[in-house]
Amino acid sequence: MEKNKISIIVPCFNEKEALPLFYNKMSEVMQLMDQTAGVSFELIIVDDGSQDDTLSVVKNLADNDDRVKYISFSRNFGKEAAMYAGLQHATGEYVAIMDADLQDPPDMLPEMYRVLTEEGYDAVGTRRVTRKGEPPIRSFFARKFYRLMSRISKANMVDGARDYRLMNRKYVDALLSLKEYNRFSKGLFGWVGFKVKWLEFENVNRVAGETKWSFWQLFLYSLDGIVAFSNAPLYMASIAGVFSFVVAIIAMLFIIIRRLVFGDPVAGWASTVVIILFIGGIQLLSIGILGLYLSKLYLEAKDRPIYLIGESNIEKDSEKH
Ligand code: UDP
Ligand code: MG
């Protein structure tokens, strides 16, 4: 671990247009911070199995600047895996995670660094206070998701929080100690705790290229988050079971008494069908919920590596894990 050094982790998936722009902007900030605060840098660019020329762009950068390190995955493993690989290979006393599309403003870095070194925080997170430029329906569901998560899980999640953050070594080592396969960083960040300060900024649109997330992917990602950080759906399934059981007992007593007192003949197949459908629905839902948890458990139990490296310019012996 090197003092006064910031490792910047940049997960990249098909970012050949954005990456050079990012690098130029970042170089300015690195130069500034070197001059004003004597901070040195390394850029760990994680190529997450890009299908465009991202890797050759990265190699080109690395040839001209020895602060640039790269790890190229054997295929697309997802941003979570890319961030984890970056954290594992970071050698700086401080580590930042930044998107390649300049949606995470590098200009905020000097202030983030100041907060860590002078105000005694362990991490500085960033959150967007506006979601300008984002489809309204996406913002709506994102907000609902954060509200729900803060109710049902212990991983304290902040609305609009980005993965852009600067962390000290203690915080990074804590993150690395969580070795789960199903990584949901927004939750992991909250789960480890420590002293975290939040800085706010206005949403910035991506400089080039396109977002890698469809609405459906985000929806599935949010389900992953819920399953990884909350047992609430399991409780809900159990409570629904108890509830329909109690209702069934009451209805049964009602029918028996009515039969004894009034001697009514049995009537109404419609109500029977509705009840069967209702109970059947709850059962399927509950089995589905159970299945979600079980499938995650299955993936954890297989204990597969979180990513595989195709090539890299980081030597093996610098690996700490
Ligand atoms: N990314 C990645 N692997 C993926 C998808 C995305 O490494 O499978 C990277 C991407 O290159 C970018 C960051 O994660 O640097 C955020 O992606 P994007 O900008 O598409 O997400 P958004 O900002 O739209 O939420
Ligand atoms: Mg983006």
CATH of residue 43's domain is: 3.90.550.10
Backbone angles phi, psi at 15, to 5 degrees: -120, 35
Backbone angles phi, psi at 86, to 5 degrees: -60, -45
Q: Which of 99, 145, 213, 224 to mutate to test the pocket of ligand 1 (most atoms within 8 A of CB)?
A: 99
Question: For residue 81, what are the CA distances in angstroms to 98, 158, 239, 292, 306?
Answer: 14, 22, 35, 21, 6
The verdict on 142 and 11 lying in the same domain is: yes
Strands 123-128 and 161-168: antiparallel
The label of the residue with tokens 């049995």 reads 266
The verdict on 177 and 140 lying in the same domain is: yes
308 lies in some domain: no
The verdict on 206 and 293 lying in the same domain is: no
The verdict on 169 and 287 lying in the same domain is: no
The verdict on 238 and 273 lying in the same domain is: yes
Ligand 1 nearest-atom number relative to CA 15: 11
Spell out the residues 6+ positions from residue 167 whose beta carbon is closer than 8 angstroms to its own: 94, 95, 96, 122, 123, 124, 175
Q: Which ligand is nearest to the CA of 13?
A: 1
The verdict on 48 and 120 lying in the same domain is: yes
74 lies in some domain: yes
Q: Which helix (H) or strand (E) holds 71?
A: strand 68-73
The verdict on 207 and 246 lying in the same domain is: no
Length of the chain counted residue by residue = 321
Q: Within 6 Å (CB) of ligand 1, which residues are found? A: 11-13, 15, 48, 76, 78-79, 82, 99-101, 103, 206, 211-213
Question: 308 C-alpha vs ligand 1 centroid, how far in Å?
Answer: 18
Question: 226 C-alpha vs ligand 2 centroid, how far in Å?
Answer: 22
157 lies in some domain: yes
For residue 161, what pLDDT is reported? 83
Among 161, 185, 214, the domain-final residue is 214
Question: What SS3 state is found at 221?
Answer: helix
Please tell me the pTM assigned to this model.
Answer: 0.79
Q: What number of CA atoms fall less than 13 Å from residue 309's CA on the CB side? A: 16
Helix ranges (DSSP H) in 94-162: 109-118, 136-152
The verdict on 109 and 200 lying in the same domain is: yes
Q: Which residues of 206-218 are buried (b: 16+ CB within 10 A; e: fewer)?
A: bbebeeeeeeeee
Question: 299 C-alpha vs ligand 2 centroid, how far in Å?
Answer: 28
Question: 10 C-alpha vs ligand 1 centroid, how far in Å?
Answer: 10
For residue 321, what pLDDT is reported? 47
Measured CA to CA, the distance from residue 52 to residue 15 in angstroms comes to 8
Q: Which of 9, 23, 212, 224 to mutate to test the pocket of ligand 1 (most atoms within 8 A of CB)?
A: 212
For residue 266, what pLDDT is reported? 65
DSSP-assigned letter for residue 204: -
| Minimum CA distance residue for ligand 1 atom 16 | 99
The verdict on 163 and 248 lying in the same domain is: no
129 lies in some domain: yes
Q: How many domains is the chain partitioned into structurally? A: 2
The verdict on 9 and 83 lying in the same domain is: yes
How high is the mean pLDDT in each 10-residue block of the chain (321 residues)? 87 91 92 89 94 91 91 93 94 93 90 91 88 77 84 79 91 92 86 89 79 83 85 85 83 82 71 79 84 89 91 69 47
Ligand 1 nearest-atom number relative to CA 13: 11
Which among 35, 24, 1 is positioned nearest to 207, based on CA atoms? 24
The verdict on 79 and 150 lying in the same domain is: yes
Measured CA to CA, the distance from residue 114 to residue 97 in angstroms comes to 17
For residue 140, what pLDDT is reported? 85
Q: What number of CA atoms fall less than 13 Å from residue 56's CA on the CB side? A: 3
Degrees (nearest 5) of the Cα angle 138, 175, 22?
Answer: 55
Ligand 1 nearest-atom number relative to CA 206: 19
310 lies in some domain: no
Question: 278 C-alpha vs ligand 1 centroid, how far in Å?
Answer: 41
Asked if residue 306 lies in contact with residue 86, where contact means CB atoms within 8 angstroms, the answer is no
The verdict on 26 and 147 lying in the same domain is: yes
Question: 208 C-alpha vs ligand 1 centroid, how far in Å?
Answer: 12
Q: What number of CA atoms fall less than 13 Å from residue 298's CA on the CB side? A: 6
Question: For residue 273, what are the CA distances in angstroms to 240, 268, 280?
Answer: 19, 9, 10
Question: 211 C-alpha vs ligand 2 centroid, how far in Å?
Answer: 6
225 lies in some domain: no
Asked if residue 37 lies in contact with residue 118, where contact means CB atoms within 8 angstroms, the answer is no
Asked if residue 22 lies in contact with residue 96, where contact means CB atoms within 8 angstroms, the answer is no
78 lies in some domain: yes
Provide the residue range defining the domain that includes 286: 232-302
77 lies in some domain: yes
